[in-house]
Amino acid sequence: TFKGHREFVVIKKRWIVERSFAWCSFDRRLNREYDLLAETTEALILLSFIRRMIRQLAAFAAQIAVAA
């Protein structure tokens, strides 16, 4: 092995973070860094996740309504 080379280490639940970043990349405005202020980008990220949570809750509610 090379000096300083480390082996691959699996980090627990890293896939959750990677998946979340992938979801953010679906939003056109978050795909590139257009905003000058970090607060604007932070607000858009929060809005993106809120929108995704609402869609998931709506799908879940529809699934329960069909089953009932």
Q: How far apart are CA 7 and CA 45, in angstroms?
A: 33
Query: Which residues, 6+ apart, have CB-to-CB distance to 48 below 8 Å?
Result: 23, 24, 27, 30
- What pLDDT score does 68 carry? 73
Q: Which domain holds residue 25?
A: 14-67
In a domain, 42, yes or no: yes
Question: Structurally, how many domains does the chain consist of?
Answer: 1
- What pLDDT score does 44 carry? 87
In a domain, 3, yes or no: no
The pLDDT averaged over each successive group of 10 residues in the chain (68 residues) is 66 83 80 82 88 92 88
In a domain, 7, yes or no: no
In a domain, 37, yes or no: yes
Report pTM. 0.65
